[in-house]
Amino acid sequence: MKNPEYCKRQIQLSMLRAQWWIASATSGHYKQRKIHHGTITSDGPEFTDEEKLVDAMATAQRHIELAAEFSETLAEAESESEGP
């Protein structure tokens, strides 16, 4: 059985995280991130500000997609609890 309360909390958390990333992109905070191309241990070139912005928005989008997935799971759980 899917836990509706858990799904609701995850939707809220995912949307808050998405809002944080959007605020970071809007305010310019994303420029302070130190991220590089390559693996975690790589000393590859640092992302440009444009790449950091794209990454911030992609991260926000992933959190929105997670919220949508939990919303679908919640809808399924609610319809199962209603029965035929």
Task: Quick: pLDDT tens for 66-82.
Answer: 999 999 999 988 888 77
| pLDDT digit string, tens, across residues 23-62 | 999 999 999 999 988 877 667 899 999 999 999 999 999 9
Handedness of CA 11, 12, 17, 23 (dihedral sign): positive
b (16+ CB within 10 A) / e for 23-49: ebbeeeebeeeeeeeeeeeeeeeebee
Q: What's phi and psi for 46, nearest 5 deg?
A: -70, 150
